[in-house]
Amino acid sequence: MAKIASSKIQSLPQAVSELVHDGDVVALEGFTHLIPFAAGHEIIRQGRRDLTLVRMTPDLVYDRMIGAGCARKLVFSWGGNPGVGSLHRMRDALASGWPVPLEIEEHSHAGMANRYVAGASGLPFAVLRGYAGTELPEHTDTISTVTCPFTGEELAAVAALNPDVTVVHAQRADRAGNVQLWGILGVQKEAVLAARRAIVTVEEIVDELTPVPGAVVLPAWVLDAVAVAPRGAAPSYAHGYYDRDNAAYRAWDTVSRDREKFSAWLEKLQEDAS
């Protein structure tokens, strides 16, 4: 059944409160572009715990959520601070279990992308040319093999990803909750369609979604909540709205290296909300 359209547009706190639960498998997607920081911060504020965080490129947003103790597991393919260095909160959780221990499930980008494709397609797995000769399959049980019934060739298989909830950020939505996003597209469409529930934050609500070259439109009926969050992707960027705040990415390196500095940052995040 299509998700009923009437009540799609709501506040971000309400959407997170109703749709993100402790223990959920949660994907916040956005490939460098349109990273849903505002939603990640709201999940931190609401104190979610035991989440399995899924994301191709855990960026600052997951470093923060991990540091805040939201996650018990991370599913990913590249975890770094792009152009700067490491994710220190992620490293600290992995090495020292601070503030809580963190499991990982590690893939390649191609593997993760195809896992979302399988999830969006209602298939239990996807086939790809990948992983052969690498050591990842020894450590990741969602990687296997499958044999082509026509050629006998052996190929990699990866298990479908179907998050309990996917959160993405987009440029805009109309009043019915149809969402439009453009620029670098990443895996947002697949991550939304693979999920049981979907939340989209947007820069603005408009009367009409004027067509934009290269844009993807997600119909309201595949979404559960659309929340207005201006600059909701900062310090990443929203094509056509604002640029990436590279200084903030560099500054995070200092904050995240140190548990006390991070804790101060976290306290401030909580205060900013109240």
Partner 1 sequence: MSTWTADEMMTVAASRSLRDGQVCFVGIGLPSTAANLARRLHAPGLVLVYESGTIGTEPDELPLSIGDGILADSALSLVGVPEIFNYWLQSGRIDVGFLSGAQIDRFANINTTVIGEYDEPSVRLPGSGGAPEIAASCREVIVVMRQRLRAFVSQVDFVTSVGHGSGPGDRGRLGLRGAGPVRVITDLGVLEPDPESAELVLTAVHPDVTVEQVRSETGWELEISADLRITAPPTEQELSTLRGLRTVGVAS
- Contact stretch for a copy of itself (CB under 8 A) within 82-90, 116-124, 241-249, 262-270: 116-124
Residues in Cβ contact with 263 at an 8 Å cutoff, skipping those fewer than 6 apart: none
| Residue 16 vs 28, nearer CB to partner 1 | 28
Sign of CA dihedral 81, 84, 86, 88: negative
208 binds a copy of itself (CB under 8 A): no
Report what 197 binds from partner 1, a copy of itself, none; CB cut-off 5-8 Å by kind: none
127 binds, among a copy of itself, partner 1, none (CB under 5 to 8 A by kind): a copy of itself
Q: Any contact of residue 215 with a copy of itself (CB under 8 A)? A: yes
**Which of residues 136 and 269 has its CB atom nearest to partner 1 in the complex?**
136
Q: Which does 193 bind (CB under 5 to 8 A by kind): a copy of itself, partner 1, none?
A: partner 1
Point out which span in 25-33, 42-50, 81-89, 142-150 binds a copy of itself (CB under 8 A). 142-150
Q: Which of 6, 129, 208, 271 binds a copy of itself (CB under 8 A)?
A: 129
Binding site for a copy of itself (CB under 8 A): 122-129, 142, 144-151, 153, 155, 157, 159, 211-215
